[in-house]
Amino acid sequence: MVGVGDGVLRNGSLGEMEIYPNPSSGRFSVSVAAPQTAIIDITVSDLLGRRVLSKTAETNTEVPLDLHVPNGVYVVTVVASGAQLTEKMYLIK
């Protein structure tokens, strides 16, 4: 049996994802609210689907990220225990 606090989301759902600031100059933070702490995989991709950044973190924390890519629109995807959240992030230097 798997217990609470083991990094697995029971209901397979994440809460809300926040990206700030958005638009960003390259440095931004991602936070994901969840009913319990879980391990998440954060991926930032360009609009062609090319991965430009990946990081593993935990829910319910602020995760600082720093992009060194051209201005444009990027997609931030968070995956945990089969649940997925996706939001656009605008990079303007």
Q: What is the pLDDT of residues 42-87, one digit of tens each?
A: 999 999 999 999 999 999 999 999 999 999 999 999 998 888 889 9
- Residue 3's pLDDT band, with cuts at 50, 70 and 90, is very low
Question: Can you give the pTM of this predicted structure?
Answer: 0.85
Residues 38, 1, 13: CA angle, nearest 5 degrees:
35
Determine the Cα–Cα distance for residues 80 and 15; give it in Å rounded to an integer: 11
Class of the CATH domain delimited by 17-91: mainly beta
Q: In which residue are the tokens 């319990």 written?
A: 36
Structural domain boundaries of the chain?
17-91
74 contact partners, CB below 8 Å, separation of at least 6: 44, 45, 46, 47, 52, 67, 88, 89, 90, 91
When the pLDDT of each residue in the chain is averaged and rounded to a whole number, the result is: 86
Q: What is the pLDDT of residues 16-50, one digit of tens each?
A: 899 999 999 999 999 998 888 889 999 999 999 99
Determine the Cα–Cα distance for residues 85 and 57; give it in Å rounded to an integer: 14
Residue 81: count of CB within 10 angstroms of its CB: 17
